[in-house]
Amino acid sequence: MKSLIAILLIALSSAALADGHKLAVPANPKWQTECGSCHMAYPPQLLTAENWRQMMKGLDRHYGANATLDAKENAEILAFLERYAARDQKYSANTLRISDTAWFQRKHREVSDSAWSHAKVKSRANCIACHVTAERGDWSEHSIRMPDGRRWE
């Protein structure tokens, strides 16, 4: 019975992960500060370790911006990203953009062009425009507020 409960719990928790509801990571001030200045600190679970390694190698040209860190900080943050990185290839993109992963595309397939181009959104990098509680680690669909104020149902 106990093992059945354990299996159920594992199944439930991985289902929650797959739905992107729980993307919380232990507090990491360095990651939060360095990766969360120009955009929100994106959850490590949303790219693979290989993607994060490539990303941290190219911070001098980070989507058109210079985001370089010193070698020690870079290594510390990369270790954190690798530790919580995705293993499934649906979280991988050659462009290293989370918004180009198969997972992201499928999750947002019903989002209209007009929502994406709305003045309050403008960029796929701007998660919190709709995922208003994402910075607290809550990505659940119930918490989504579309730019026109409506819920996502």
Partner 1 sequence: MTAKKIGIAILFIVGAGVACAETPVSLVAGYTAEAARATPGFVPSAERGQSLFTRKWGVSQTMPSCATCHSDQPTAEGKHVVTSKRIAPLSPAVNPERFANSAKVEKWFRRNCQEVVGRECSAAEKADFIQFVSKGGRV
Which residue ranges make up the site for partner 1 (CB under 8 A)?
A: 37-40, 63-68, 120-123, 125-126, 128-129
Sign of the CA dihedral running 46, 115, 33, 60:
positive
> 54 or 68, CB closer to partner 1?
68
> 25 or 41, CB closer to partner 1?
41
Q: Is 106 within 8 Å of 118 (Cβ atoms)?
A: no
Minimum separation from the CB atom of position 133 to partner 1 (A): 16
Name the residue with tokens 């370089």.
Answer: 68
Minimum separation from the CB atom of position 125 to partner 1 (A): 4
Name the residue with tokens 């991985």.
Answer: 14
Amino acid at 94: N
> DSSP strand E in the chain: where?
none
> 62 or 90, CB closer to partner 1?
62
Minimum separation from the CB atom of position 25 to partner 1 (A): 19
> 120 or 142, CB closer to partner 1?
120
Report d(CA 57, CA 54) in Å as an integer.
5
Token duo for residue 28: 């990491």
Minimum separation from the CB atom of position 64 to partner 1 (A): 7
Torsion of CA 87, 92, 98, 103, to 10 degrees: -80
